[in-house]
A = this chain, B = another copy of it.
């Protein structure tokens, strides 16, 4: 009598915290491939996905809260694998410039104006944008990170946070990054993980990079840094160090740690065996919009796939990318990979979804806890409306998600089982209040009369 047994088991259990029912669900098959279950239900208990079952099976399940997913698709929340959330305050300020002028003449001067409160406001605005766009985890690399962490707590998002440093700051920079990583590791009821965050091989010297690798081993911390951002940096590194940026990281011991490399558009053929033999968990974050804007190559995803290096999706900061729209990064990853390789068969919609789910989760060190709708994973999921005239008809849900749906089609965003946006209404953050306070700060924020800048770009 299996029905009775099931019935008994259910009766013994307390009600589920949340049941999303009647939706299509993006699930992963036994081999990890992208698959879709129709008329599905997702059951959430204690912040975890307890079950992904059929709508019929979940119909009578007692639940504290139910969401009707009819016409919607449930999928793992997106992961923004590399951003600088607070830089939303500079969105659209420095356009149509090469990277040197963008850094030296515009961004690094105005970053010297930032107060702690500006970082808070910029991060809150970023969190609102990301929740609205279906992002449930972001990897942030910036300054004044206590304020970023506190904004994360308030937003309800999951985050992987690192306090950036330059060698020009002296040992204090590295110490502060370590101190932050140790204090906030496991914060926000486990939603916050941390990393050491040297800025890049062109702003952090070999000794500091080697010291970072040692600290990472000593404290069991991963490392998140910019590396081989573009081809010019690789050429310059070869001239200065006789090694590519990846070679510099290897020599410093950083490839023996769990390391997340932002961008990597300057990764060379010679770097591939170096990355392949790395003892640490090496991953790359790709933010393709900015590469188009700066006229760079894009991240070599095909070569990285060949050596098993996961590539997560990212947006970089809004000062270069103009948005924190990981959905757009997913579409642009598919499009720019086809364009860069000249091969329309490469990077299919399902491969793009693999980057958006499994590979992004692995990139930020959460490969076992997020990135899939599967029992035991954290309940980080989003519901996407597939009924819009720009999505219909749906011949193939993968193509519909990657090439037709938009971040604005995300109706509901859930992290750790908590609904942060429902039917496009943000439940944890007040956007008009944030933007009103930020507006008053803009004249001071963009002032360059002081002639300062926080660093010189010479990548």
Contacts and interface: CB of A to CB of B under 8 A. Distances in A.
B128 A389 contact: yes
Identify the interface centre among A98, A388, A400, A403: most chain B CB within 10 Å of its CB: A403
A338 B293 contact: yes
Nearest to A131: B389
B396 A344 contact: no
A393 B295 contact: no
A369 interface: no
Contacts of A318: 404
Contacts of A294: 338, 344
Contacts of A393: 88-89, 91, 435, 438-439, 442
A336 interface: yes
Given A292-B336, A388-B132, A395-B446, A403 B323 contact: yes
Interface in A101-128: 125-126, 128
A392 B322 CA distance: 10
A132 B289 CA distance: 24
Task: Say how many copies of this protein the assembly contains.
Answer: 2
Nearest to A294: B344
Contacts of A406: 406-408
Interface in A301-343: 318, 322-325, 335-336, 338-339, 341-343
B442 A387 contact: no
Given A91-B392, A128-B389, A323-B403, A348 B96 contact: yes
Given A97-B345, A293-B335, A344-B97, A129 B395 contact: no
Contact of A93 (B95, B133, B395): B395
Interface string A60-89: 000000000000000000000000000011
A14 interface: no
B292 A339 contact: yes
Contacts of A431: 387-389, 392
A391 B439 CA distance: 13
Contacts of A344: 96-99, 293-295
A105 B452 CA distance: 61
A14 to B, nearest CB: 36
A403 B315 CA distance: 13
The range of chain A's interface size is 35 or more
Identify the interface centre among A96, A98, A345, A431: most chain B CB within 10 Å of its CB: A96
Interface in A270-303: 289, 291-295
A339 B288 CA distance: 11
A399 B322 contact: yes
A404 B318 CA distance: 9
B395 A92 contact: yes
A383 B294 CA distance: 30
B390 A132 contact: yes
A432 interface: yes
A58 to B, nearest CB: 25
A81 to B, nearest CB: 18
Nearest to A101: B344
A98 B349 CA distance: 15
Contacts of A59: none
A394 interface: yes
Nearest to A127: B389
A304 to B, nearest CB: 19
Given A295-B344, A348-B95, A435 B387 contact: yes
A259 B125 CA distance: 47
Interface in A372-403: 387-396, 399-400, 403
8 contacts: A91-B404, A97-B345, A98-B345, A99-B344, A133-B390, A292-B339, A395-B446, A408-B409
Given A91-B404, A96-B338, 13 more contacts: A88-B392, A91-B391, A95-B399, A96-B349, A125-B389, A292-B339, A294-B338, A295-B342, A323-B390, A389-B431, A389-B435, A392-B431, A406-B407
